[in-house]
Structure 1
Amino acid sequence: MTVRGNFDLRDEIQAFWSDRAASFDDFPGHEIFSERERRAWHDLLSRHLGPAAGRGVLDLASGTGVVSHLLDDLGFRVTGLDWSEPMLERARRKAADRGRAIAFRLGDAERILEADESFDAIVTRHLVWTLVDPAACFAEWLRVLKPGGMLLIVDGDFVGQGAGERLLMRIEAFARRHGLARDRGPALSAELAGRHRSILSRVHFSGGARAEDVAALLAEASFAGITVDRRLGAIHRAQGRHMPLLKGLARQVQHRYAIRATKPPI
């Protein structure tokens, strides 16, 4: 990666995800690998957003459009926003190949170039943990939501490990030392993995995006009706079927969650 003058953390994050775009859909947990997982996502989205009824939804940090397609499946009018052109190129190509009328736009989740009260709902997946200034982002998200509009965050603590995950990691390390585990699935290059660790050490949630901390910041930003949903097991079990055994088991014990919040009505 070329280092430029005034190349700050936000620029690093943008460059990292641009460089991830080519292989993004190869990883279980990014693209949808089965109808079982697709149904599980549909259930989660419907549980929190309710019937689509043609409502307009903004998919923030839409990447290659995975969540945008899930929302489109359900009948929402979807706009995907991402600040990585390589991600958007793949998203637009995928939508064209599938005959989807999804609008993908270049934009920053912290500085959304949309009018006030533009969307009935906002959905984000695995965005919050990357935020440099979540308070500024949440204020911006509140601004572009219509009164009574919904925010749905799907995220997790990708830093801290509970006792169950630590045990599984020790078992995996033992298995690799003794040549008992060979299928690692797709993995980041050493260079990309190093950049990921460096970025993670400097974002706001460098110690892990715990649900209670995210919820508290949403309340400070004037969101209401904040609820935390840990019932993501159906999604994680479906994803685990396409992962090495121990990684799939770890996925099911990690601190992952959905948070729903509402912009108060006028």
Structure 2
Amino acid sequence: MNQASNYNLREEIREYWSMRAATFDEQPGHEIFSETERNAWHALLERHFGKGEGRQALDLASGTGVISHLMHDLGFAVTGMDWSEAMLEKARAKSKLRGSDIRFLLGDAEHTLEDDDSYDVIITRHLVWTLVDPAAAFAEWFRILKPGGKLLVVDGDFVSPTWATKFNKVMAGFLESIGLRKPVEAVAHMQTHRDILARVHFSEGARADEVSSMLAQAGFDPIRIDFDLRQIHSAQKKHISFAKGLERGAQHRYAICAQKPLAN
């Protein structure tokens, strides 16, 4: 892939998420719809980062600021960075409404322009699977972390079909054939989503082992893969359909905590 096509793809990604900004917070898995889920997120973050105690945190691809506010709840001094001004507008409005002092910046997660050794912790949620050049992004995140700082990647393989995906497809076809379900009309943004997904690095799915291997190549050590996201997913399933809940539960989802070694 040449530089020009990379640039065009990044622009398409930015435009896609800007288009989605208006309804982003309406979807479970994006915004938080219960205190049970909020508490489950707090537990995950505290398990890997501990309490904030005023430490500097960067939320990359912060969107409407959902994860930024979770980090702020734990006492971190939070900077949220996103490449979509539409997302940032919603994040800043939410921050003002809640009276938080989170700083939101317009920026590219793969080229942050932040100073070396700036942050104690970095977090990303559902960003890595969309990266055009993850190796460059991981090197960038390593650079801006302080020695001893930690990166937490919350992501998954949202591409590979699971037993639940196949089951739901068969059931949908059967229900349509007997007239108990209307055919689902194509949503315009779904084709855009598929076109983008076909060209990102993890077009066949971001698996935890591959992501961990690339983080190790960037210099992170130690690296821990955490598959225990059950409390979060259980809370989310109460706000989505049974079929979507099956799919979400069957997907390869994980959190990876990677540390920048202390300076010698």
Aligned CA distance change for structure 1 residues 128 and 171 (closer, same or farther; 3 Å): same
Counterpart secondary structure, 2:14: helix
Q: How does 1:69-148 map to 2 (within 5 A)?
A: 69-148=69-148
Mapped to 1, the partners of 2:228 and 2:172 lie a distance apart of 26
Cα-to-partner distance string for 1:61-90 (whole Å, 9 max, x where unaligned): 000000001111111110000010000000
What letter is aligned with 1:51? K
Q: Does structure 2 retain, via aligned residues, the 8 Å contact 1:172–1:246?
A: no
Give TM-score scaled by structure 2 length: 0.93
The Cα shift of 1:172 comes to 3.9
1:199 to 196, 200, 203: 196
What letter is aligned with 2:10? R
Counterpart secondary structure, 1:259: strand
Aligned CA distance change for structure 1 residues 260 and 180 (closer, same or farther; 3 Å): farther
Counterpart secondary structure, 2:117: coil
Q: Does structure 1 retain, via aligned residues, the 8 Å contact 2:6–2:132?
A: no
Aligned CA distance change for structure 1 residues 78 and 171 (closer, same or farther; 3 Å): same
- 1:152 equivalent to 2:152? Answer yes
Tell me the equivalent position of 2:262: 265
Mapped to 1, the partners of 2:219 and 2:78 lie a distance apart of 25
1:227 to 224, 228, 241: 224
- 1:210 equivalent to 2:207? Answer yes
The Cα shift of 1:181 comes to 5.6
- 1:247 equivalent to 2:239? Answer no
Q: Does structure 1 retain, via aligned residues, the 8 Å contact 2:162–2:247?
A: no
Aligned CA distance change for structure 1 residues 177 and 229 (closer, same or farther; 3 Å): farther
Mapped to 2, the partners of 1:67 and 1:131 lie a distance apart of 19
- Structure 1 stretches of 4+ moved >4 Å: 179-182
Q: Does structure 2 retain, via aligned residues, the 8 Å contact 1:28–1:242?
A: yes
Mapped to 2, the partners of 1:226 and 1:175 lie a distance apart of 45
The Cα shift of 1:168 comes to 3.6
Tell me the equivalent position of 1:45: 45
Aligned CA distance change for structure 1 residues 181 and 66 (closer, same or farther; 3 Å): farther
Q: Does structure 1 retain, via aligned residues, the 8 Å contact 2:163–2:250?
A: no
Cα-to-partner distance string for 1:93-133 (whole Å, 9 max, x where unaligned): 00001111100000000111211000000000000000000
What letter is aligned with 1:256? R
The Cα shift of 1:173 comes to 3.8
The Cα shift of 1:169 comes to 3.6
Mapped to 1, the partners of 2:144 and 2:90 lie a distance apart of 26
Mapped to 1, the partners of 2:108 and 2:128 lie a distance apart of 13
> What RMSD, in angstroms, separates the aligned Cα atoms of the two structures?
1.8
What letter is aligned with 1:201? A
Mapped to 2, the partners of 1:197 and 1:204 lie a distance apart of 13
Mapped to 2, the partners of 1:212 and 1:98 lie a distance apart of 38
Cα-to-partner distance string for 1:5-27 (whole Å, 9 max, x where unaligned): 99710110011001110010011
Q: Sequence identity of aligned pairs in percent?
A: 58
Aligned CA distance change for structure 1 residues 65 and 167 (closer, same or farther; 3 Å): same
Mapped to 1, the partners of 2:254 and 2:47 lie a distance apart of 14
Q: Show structure 1 runs of 5+ residues with no match.
A: none
Q: Comparing 240-249 with 127-136, which one deviates more in the overlay?
A: 240-249
What letter is aligned with 1:68? S
Counterpart secondary structure, 1:100: coil
